[in-house]
Amino acid sequence: MDWTNKNNFLKWIVGILLVLNIVTVTIIWTHILDKEPPVPGNYNRPPDPVKLMQKELALTDIQAKLFEEKRKILFEATDRLFDEMRTLENMLKEKLFEKEYDVTLVDSITYRIGSIQTELEKLRFNHFKELISICTPEQREKFIPILKKLMERNPPGGKPGDHEFQQKWNKPGAPPFNPGD
């Protein structure tokens, strides 16, 4: 192959590669642009608990309304306690950087944080007891395994999100809950 034929051959190869690159980039761009943009704030959102319970337990509209009311009451009470606990924890963190601090004050802050945790656990316990009392005996049979699954979702020492039940429900299009899982 002489120099001119070699030069023409290289021009053809470069031209073919250039066309292939343009086609490849065009295909990639069209696939990216065809996708719908994600909806902000809608990532891995679990299903509405009341609707889920209404479906799984065959709750009446009245029962579903009671479930929702009890849920709102619980969240209002726990939000207040969490705010107080956060304030106390911040006070405790500030004491960490002081050279001299009042041991009695630190003890009272930590004692109050423990008391708040106790109140939170009692609130949750009473909340679920109330929910169970709203159910019929048939619904209770279905509800108790669901509650057991919910309560084991964040075992002591485990990280939120590690448990298979929580991962299952945080995925969009997750299958319906099956208490026998």
Instruction: Report pLDDT digits (tens) over 57-87.
Output: 888 999 999 999 999 999 999 999 999 999 9
Assigned domain for 83 exists: yes
Q: Which residues contact 77 (CB under 8 A, 6 or more apart)?
A: 123
| Alpha carbons 153 and 149: distance in angstroms, whole number | 6
Assigned domain for 95 exists: yes
Residue 168 has pLDDT above 60, yes or no: no
- Indicate the pTM of the whole model: 0.57
Mean pLDDT rounded to a whole number for the chain: 81
* Total domains in the fold of the chain: 1
Assigned domain for 165 exists: no
Two tokens at 49? 């608990």
Two tokens at 47? 């299903």
Question: Residue 60 belongs to a domain with what CATH number?
Answer: 1.20.120.1490
Assigned domain for 90 exists: yes
Contact predicate 169/132, CB 8 Å:
no
CA distances (Å), origin 14, targets 17, 109, 119: 5, 74, 74
List the one residue out of 116, 117, 91 whose CA is nearest residue 106: 91
